[in-house]
């Protein structure tokens, strides 16, 4: 099975602060070893540098901590993710929680205060609108179950 995975979850230093968020888990290692992985960072693919100012969604726009509007770059990266998923027939994505691109349940509220709200990142909205199911790094068991259920069909 082909999976789209946030590059930072694979340890690539693509986050805004030039760090990674590698998952250290046997279940994740098993997923990586048994499936074809497509590493992807929508923010970098959208043209943003590493490092870059932190960004959060506020009033449907992606605004940086330095008050720069990154909405176009985030949307461009989301579209590239969708194009890749469609080209490769990817139906599941494992993306970084809380990210303004990749958060699938919660995102930061736009105040840069660390407060979380229910919501989805720009890339997740784009993928889910096209029936690509998105999981985060805290939902590995759910991802494995979804893969197994699909493979049994």
Q: Please give the mean pLDDT across all residues of the chain.
A: 98
Q: Give residue 51's region: left, alpha or beta (phi > 0; psi -120 to 50).
A: beta
pLDDT score for 42: 99
Query: What are the extents of the domains in the chain?
Result: 2-152
Q: Order of strands across the sheet with 2-6?
A: 36-40, 2-6, 92-95, 133-136
How far is the C-alpha of 88 from the C-alpha of 113, rounded, in Å?
Answer: 38
Beta bridge partners of 5: 39, 94
pLDDT score for 152: 86
Question: What is the tens place of the pLDDT at every residue in 117-126?
Answer: 999 999 999 9
Question: What is the tens place of the pLDDT at every residue in 2-18?
Answer: 999 999 999 999 999 99
How far is the C-alpha of 83 from the C-alpha of 87, rounded, in Å?
Answer: 6
153 pLDDT above the threshold of 90 = no
pLDDT score for 100: 98
């Amino acid at each position: 099975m082909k999976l789209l995975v946030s590059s930072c979850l694979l340890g690539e230093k693509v986050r805004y602060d030039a760090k990674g968020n590698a998952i250290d888990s046997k279940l994740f290692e098993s997923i990586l070893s048994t499936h074809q992985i497509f590493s992807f960072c929508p923010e970098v693919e959208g043209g943003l540098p590493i490092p870059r100012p932190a960004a959060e969604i506020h009033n449907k726009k992606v605004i940086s901590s330095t008050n720069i509007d990154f909405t176009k770059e985030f949307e461009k990266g989301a579209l590239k993710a969708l194009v890749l998923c469609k080209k490769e027939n990817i139906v599941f994505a494992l993306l970084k929680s809380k990210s303004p691109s990749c958060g699938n349940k919660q995102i930061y509220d736009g105040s840069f205060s660390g407060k979380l709200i229910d919501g989805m990142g720009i890339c997740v909205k784009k993928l889910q609108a096209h029936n690509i199911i998105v999981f985060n790094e805290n939902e590995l068991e759910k991802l494995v179950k979804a893969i197994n259920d699909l493979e049994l069909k």
